[in-house]
Amino acid sequence: MTLSTLQRSIKPLIDNELIIESAIGESTGGRRPALYDINPEGPYIVGIDISRSYTRFVITNLNLSTIYAEKALPISSPQQTITAICDTLKETLNDLSISKSDILGIGVGTVGPLDREKGIILNPTNFASKEWVNIPIKDIIERDLGIPTFIDNGANSAVLVEHLFGIGKKYGNMSYFNCGMGIRTGVISSDKLIRTSSDSEDSFGHMIIDMDGEKCSCGNYGCVECYCSTLQIIRKFRSKAKAGRSFASSKPPEEIDYIDICNMAEKGDELSREIMTDSAAIFGLALTNYINILKPELVILSGPLFRYSQLYYDVATSAANKRLRFKDKDNPVFRRGGKFQINSISLGAAAMVFEELLNQ
């Protein structure tokens, strides 16, 4: 780029106070160059995470260095959920004395498949409410708040933010897994976000690992998700407990939730450990197949499945490491959760706003 083209390109960014002169660089012979950086005092961005079992939002600045507010809200029907997010966001902006005109945009990281261009959530599986079908979320939020809104799937948002600002900065090839009621994956390959048709992110979860296996919600048999989700772990625990297996809790089996199972497993309860380790070993096997195809240098395993269980993480990663056929130095680095932990998707959705606007 010639100097005059560069100056023309960055002028709108300077005029809109999106970037500022931050320092004067070393001379390479001529005049010392001015260095520019994202303006941390500039406009705000909002990132919203709509996952299957919770929603969260953050209000942050352009380089994500400050989180001015973060809120978690329950999820129910689309209408109630989106209204609650918009109302709480308005209240929070009011409390912080931030006007809507100071918000550059809103990013939503959610569950695919999506029509990303039109901003529509199509027909995701495993939401408790069956009403999450064809939801024009971009239009609904823009109508209510009057702020430009962009959507992407949450796994893409999370892998993007960890790559640009988090623990994946030095890796050109990395994968992010968000595992809970389902499994969502985001992939950066050669520094680029890999998109799939319909922006779905569930290909890992529907990898078939047992031809004669259990029936999956997708209609196939023996998918990874049949064995490796919080829902399946709870289902298996309750069924074995009801069949007479003892376990270390006074709660009836139908009240045992995933966190109870994790806690019991960590304390040595035999039934909980058996169910968690069986599931994690299957996850590790599928992870080996996935790593052999994509060859990521970094694999971030996050979401409730891993967040609440060190045991699950240890068994899954050691099962994968045992089978990976590369030399040790070529095996990926595994991490339990990224830099941004529970805010990965919401902050990623915020980072996506800046990326989208830059690319317009």
CB nearer to Zn ion: pick between 52 and 206:
206
Which C-beta is closer to Zn ion: that of 135 or that of 224? Answer: 224
- Block residue for tokens 């319909």: 198
Min dist. Cβ of residue 220 to Zn ion (A): 5
Choose one: 44-52, 187-195, 212-220, 245-253; the region binding Zn ion (CB under 5 A). 212-220
Q: If you ran DSSP here, which 8-state letter would residue 135 be given?
A: B
Tell me the closest approach of the beta carbon of residue 221 to Zn ion, in angstroms: 8
Least distance CB 235 / Zn ion (angstroms): 15
Q: Which is nearer to Zn ion, 4 or 197 (CB)?
A: 197
Dist. CA 60–CA 311, nearest whole Å: 34
- Interface segment toward Zn ion; rule CB under 5 A; list 14-22, 134-142, 210-218, 238-246: 210-218
**Residue number with CB closer to Zn ion (223 or 286):** 223
Contacts of Zn ion in 101-140 (CB under 5 A): none
Smallest distance from Zn ion to CB 208, Å: 8
To the nearest whole angstrom, how small is the minimum distance from the Cβ of residue 84 to Zn ion? 31
Size of the site for Zn ion (CB under 5 A): 5
Among 206, 236, 307, 335, binds Zn ion (CB under 5 A): 206
> DSSP for 284-302?
HHHHHHHHHHH--SEEEEE
**Quick one: which segment of 22-30, 86-94, 178-186, 199-207 binds Zn ion (CB under 5 A)?**
199-207
Counting beta carbons within 10 angstroms of the beta carbon of residue 117, is it exposed (0 to 12), middle (13 to 18) or buried (19 or more)? exposed
> Contact 119/139 with Cβ under 8 angstroms?
yes
Helix axes 270-294, 310-323, angle to 10 degrees: 40
**What is the dihedral sign for C-alpha 208, 212, 218, 224?**
negative
Nearer to Zn ion, 153 or 317 (CB): 153
CB nearer Zn ion, residue 13 or residue 208: 208
For the bound state, the minimum distance from the C-beta of residue 223 to Zn ion, rounded and expressed in Å, comes to: 3
Q: Smallest gap, in angstroms, from Cβ of residue 64 to Zn ion?
A: 34
The residue among 92 and 220 lying less far from Zn ion, judged by its C-beta, is 220
Beta-carbon contacts of residue 134 (< 8 Å; ≥ 6 apart): 120, 121, 122, 123
Produce one character per residue of 286-323: b if its CB has 16 or more CB atoms within 10 Å, e if not. Answer: bbbebbeebebbbbbbbbbbbbbbebbbebbbebbbee
Which of 208, 357 has the CB closer to Zn ion?
Answer: 208
Within 13 A of 187's CA, how many CA atoms are on the CB side? 17
Check residue 219 and give left, alpha or beta (phi > 0: left; psi -120 to 50: alpha).
left
Q: Which residues contact 131 (CB under 8 A, 6 or more apart)?
A: 77, 78, 79
Site string for Zn ion, 213-242 (x = CB under 5 A): ---x-x-x--x-------------------
282 touches Zn ion (CB under 5 A): no
Least distance CB 199 / Zn ion (angstroms) = 18
By C-alpha distance, which of 143, 145, 141 is closest to 100? 145
Query: Which positions lie near Zn ion, rule CB under 5 A?
Result: 206, 216, 218, 220, 223
